[in-house]
Amino acid sequence: MRSITYLNKSIRLIDHVYEPKEDSFLLVDALQAHMSKGDRILEVGCGSGIVSMFAVDNASLVIATDLNPYAVRCAKLNGITSIVSDLFAGIRGSFDLIVFNPPYLPTSEGDYLGGWDDLMLDGGPDGRRTIKRFLAGIGEHLAPGGRILLLVSSLTGIKEVCDLMRHECLYIEQVAESKFFFEQLVVLKGQF
C-alpha cells in the first residue's frame, strides 16, 4: 500500500485503482466550490475515493460507487462508504450532488492494459461511451434542484459532451478548467 497527500489529506492507494492526478484534483476543487452544507452526495466511479473524502465533512450523506472491487476496497480504506456498482445499478434514492470523473480517453483495440485497469481509462472509440450511460441514468437519481459535476477532457470532445447533456435537458455551466500541452480538462456543472 502507498499513499499520496493532497490539501493536507492522506489518500491510501492500492494496485488496480486509479491514482489521483490533475483530473481528480480539479474535480475536488470544483466539488469544494459547488457543494452545499448538508448535501446528499453520490460519487460515481470513485476510484480511491479522493473526491468523497473532501465531501464527508459537509455533506449529510456520501456514498461512492465503482465497478472495480479494488477501487471500492481502496475507498473504504480511506473511510468512504462505497459499494460495487456499474454506475447507478442498485442505487436507490436521490442525491443533491452527483460527481463523476469518468473513463474519458478514446480507446481502440490496441489501447487496453488488461483486467481492472481498463475500467479507469476506457472511454470507448470516442471517449464518451460511459458518459452517455451516466447521463441517461441521472434523471432517476438527481433530487429536484440537484446538480452534477462531470469531468471531461478535450480528447473526449467538450462540445459533444455538452450536446449530450443538453439532450438530457440539463442546463450546463463550465465551473473549472485546467490546460495542459496535450489536453484541456473541464468540470461541467449540470442542472435540470
Domains of the chain, each with CATH number or no CATH: 2-191 (3.40.50.150)
Query: What is the number of alpha carbons within 13 Å of residue 27 lying toward its C-beta?
Result: 28
Within 8 A by CB and 6+ apart from 181, the residues are none
Q: What is the pLDDT of residues 10-60, one digit of tens each?
A: 999 999 999 999 999 999 999 999 999 999 999 999 999 999 999 999 999
Q: What is the pLDDT of residues 70-93, one digit of tens each?
A: 999 999 999 999 999 999 999 999
The pLDDT score that the predictor gives to residue 114 is 65
Q: What is the pLDDT of residues 105-160, one digit of tens each?
A: 777 766 666 666 666 666 677 879 999 999 999 999 999 999 999 999 999 999 99
Within 8 A by CB and 6+ apart from 89, the residues are none
Widest distance between CA atoms in the chain: 45
Within 8 A by CB and 6+ apart from 136, the residues are 168
The pLDDT score that the predictor gives to residue 26 is 97
